[in-house]
């Protein structure tokens, strides 16, 4: 009776054989390689485009008409991307959407970043997303992004990842002199304005040394001018992100975990993208969203709140010849979605913030969040029981290991994803992703077991009628 009635929550590793374990490790090797090349949204989009084209996907704009089986993608301003495989059934009966985000917490350069102080050159920054500022000091950091000149010329920047590149860092106070700092609240220990990147220390030698100020800064500008042909003003039209210069690595003697920057939410983005690459004939049109700006509220024309996604789905309706007045609304009202975003993994060192009965555990499979929000589910899209049952059925049919959790104890905190945005259009949505330790830290931790179960989940979802 116990066997039948209790909801057992076994560790997934215990239930698989050596063959499956090898398959998981192999899959995660691909994941870590990809992540090492795709630390920011623009890089993710460019790698995803390459992968998609290798697998027969083409820009939706290059199609006059679309037919079942056609594979398309749409890139929005190099920072977000949608992919689709046209199903055999009409879209008005609903489509199957999986949506993740490819932006991650980081530091962005201020519009006027470069200055000199005390013989050092610095880049001023403004942090992006929810970070614990102290975690970003005294670690190796790299620069990624673009500088766009007034003539439209675009310069790609990627410094600090190659072994031969220099890296950058933000200094912190030595403990010997940190008495005052250590007495502060943790959140005030490092001021936002002090998140300044150390970028140089050698002054430019000039004939007329005494009259020229800020020669270290000048030297940096000289180097940048020689290397990229840019001047100080060109930073105004740049988007440069500062991210940890760590490579994704296997973690632990048994190698069962992945340590990497940006796994929120690139772990769900990668696993859904990979699943889409392997789909062949689908009945329901399969759509994959890789969105930007989730970490700062999904605003702007590359965020999920924008109308870009509506435009993309309308294009699919136009090109399949199915469109008619107001059909888009109907499509959304009959569609299903997995909002594929990471979940807070249960951390035994901080067990007191989680309800052990309702937490997502590493190594126990994909984690469903029926709702997110904070303080009485505020701001949440709460999945309907009927839809949760449909998703459960899909998981059980495919022997996929899953758990149902919520983000921390009641009134401890909370969070959100892009789920509510699609739910507000009428789509049935549930949050469904990989549990993570140290979420939003420079080095985040996931279980390889869960990464693979995420991939299996997304594939099964798109394949279900
Ligand atoms: Mn996320
Ligand atoms: Mn996040």
List all residues 6 or more positions away from 307 whose beta carbon is below 8 Å from its beta carbon: none
Longest dimension (CA), the chain: 90
From the CA of 131, the nearest ligand is 2
CA of 356 to the centre of ligand 1 (A): 22
CA of 379 to the centre of ligand 2 (A): 16
CA of 137 to the centre of ligand 1 (A): 23
Beta partners for residue 447, in sequence order: 257
For 240-253, the DSSP string reads EEEEE-PPPEEEST
From the CA of 339, the nearest ligand is 1
- Sheet (strand 238-244) strand order: 154-159, 141-148, 238-244, 106-117, 120-128, 196-200
Q: What is the pLDDT along the chain (465 residues), one digit of tens a residue?
A: 777 777 778 999 999 999 999 999 999 999 999 999 999 999 999 999 999 999 999 999 999 999 999 999 999 999 999 999 999 999 999 999 999 999 999 999 999 999 999 999 999 999 999 999 999 999 999 999 999 999 999 999 999 999 999 999 999 999 999 999 999 999 999 999 999 999 999 999 877 667 788 999 999 999 999 999 999 999 999 999 999 999 999 999 999 999 999 999 999 999 999 999 999 889 999 999 999 999 999 999 999 999 999 999 999 999 999 999 999 999 999 999 999 999 999 999 999 999 999 999 999 999 999 998 899 999 899 999 999 999 999 999 999 999 999 999 999 988 889 999 999 999 999 999 999 999 999 999 999 999 999 999 999 999 998
CA of 294 to the centre of ligand 1 (A): 7
CA of 246 to the centre of ligand 1 (A): 20
Q: Which residues of 347-376 are buried (b: 16+ CB within 10 A; e: fewer)?
A: beeeeeebeeebbbbbbbbbbbbbbbbbee
From the CA of 441, the nearest ligand is 2
From the CA of 343, the nearest ligand is 1
CA of 130 to the centre of ligand 2 (A): 7
- Reduced to 3 states (helix: H, G, I; strand: E, B; else coil), residue 227 is helix
Query: Any idea which fold 106-244 has?
Result: Aminopeptidase i, Domain 2 (2.30.250)
Look up the pTM and report it. 0.97
Kindly list the domain boundaries of the chain, sorted by start residue.
Answer: 2-104+261-463, 106-244
From the CA of 266, the nearest ligand is 1
366 touches 453 (CB < 8 A): yes
CA of 50 to the centre of ligand 2 (A): 26
CA of 342 to the centre of ligand 1 (A): 5
Determine the Cα–Cα distance for residues 331 and 89; give it in Å rounded to an integer. Answer: 12
**Domain 2-104+261-463, architecture per CATH:** 3-Layer(aba) Sandwich (3.40)
CA of 312 to the centre of ligand 1 (A): 23
């Amino acid at each position: 009776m116990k066997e039948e009635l209790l909801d057992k929550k076994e560790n997934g590793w215990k239930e698989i054989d050596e063959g499956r374990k090898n398959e998981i490790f192999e899959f995660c090797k691909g994941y870590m390689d990809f992540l090492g090349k795709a630390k920011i949204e623009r890089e993710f989009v460019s790698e995803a485009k390459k992968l998609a084209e290798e697998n027969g996907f083409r820009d939706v704009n290059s199609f006059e008409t679309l037919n079942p089986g056609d594979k398309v993608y749409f890139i929005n301003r190099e920072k977000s991307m949608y992919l689709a495989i046209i199903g055999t059934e009409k879209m008005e009966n609903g489509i199957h959407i999986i949506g993740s985000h490819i932006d991650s917490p980081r530091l962005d350069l201020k519009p006027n970043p470069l200055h000199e102080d005390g013989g050092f050159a610095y880049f001023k920054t403004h942090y992006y997303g929810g970070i614990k500022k102290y975690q970003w000091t005294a670690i190796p950091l790299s620069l990624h992004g673009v500088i766009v000149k007034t003539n439209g010329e675009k310069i790609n920047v990627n410094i600090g990842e190659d072994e031969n590149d220099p890296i950058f860092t933000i200094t912190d106070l030595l403990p010997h002199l940190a008495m005052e700092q250590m007495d502060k609240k943790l959140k005030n220990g490092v001021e936002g304005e002090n998140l300044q990147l150390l970028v140089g220390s050698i002054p430019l030698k000039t004939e007329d040394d005494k009259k020229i100020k800020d020669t270290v800064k000048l030297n940096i500008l000289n180097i940048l001018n020689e290397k990229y042909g840019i001047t100080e003003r060109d930073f105004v039209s740049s988007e440069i992100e500062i991210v940890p210069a760590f490579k994704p690595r296997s973690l632990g003697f048994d190698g069962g975990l992945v340590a990497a920057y940006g796994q929120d939410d690139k772990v769900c983005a990668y696993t859904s993208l990979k699943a889409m690459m392997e789909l062949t004939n689908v009945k329901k049109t399969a759509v994959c969203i890789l969105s930007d700006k989730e970490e700062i509220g999904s605003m702007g024309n590359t965020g999920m709140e924008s109308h870009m996604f509506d435009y993309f789905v309308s294009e699919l309706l136009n090109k399949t010849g199915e469109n008619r007045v107001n059909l888009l609304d109907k499509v959304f009202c009959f569609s299903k979605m997995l909002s594929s975003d990471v979940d807070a993994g249960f951390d035994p060192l901080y067990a007191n913030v989680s309800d052990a009965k309702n937490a997502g555990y590493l190594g126990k499979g994909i984690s469903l969040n029926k709702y997110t929000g904070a303080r009485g589910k505020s701001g949440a899209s709460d999945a309907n029981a009927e839809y949760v049952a449909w998703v459960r059925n899909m998981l059980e049919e495919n022997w996929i290991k899953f758990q149902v959790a919520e983000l921390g104890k009641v009134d401890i905190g909370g969070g959100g994803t892009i789920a509510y945005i699609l739910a507000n259009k009428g789509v049935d949505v549930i949050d469904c992703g990989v549990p993570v330790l140290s979420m939003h830290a420079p080095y985040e931790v996931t279980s390889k077991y869960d990464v693979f179960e995420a991939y299996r989940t997304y594939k099964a979802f798109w394949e279900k009628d």
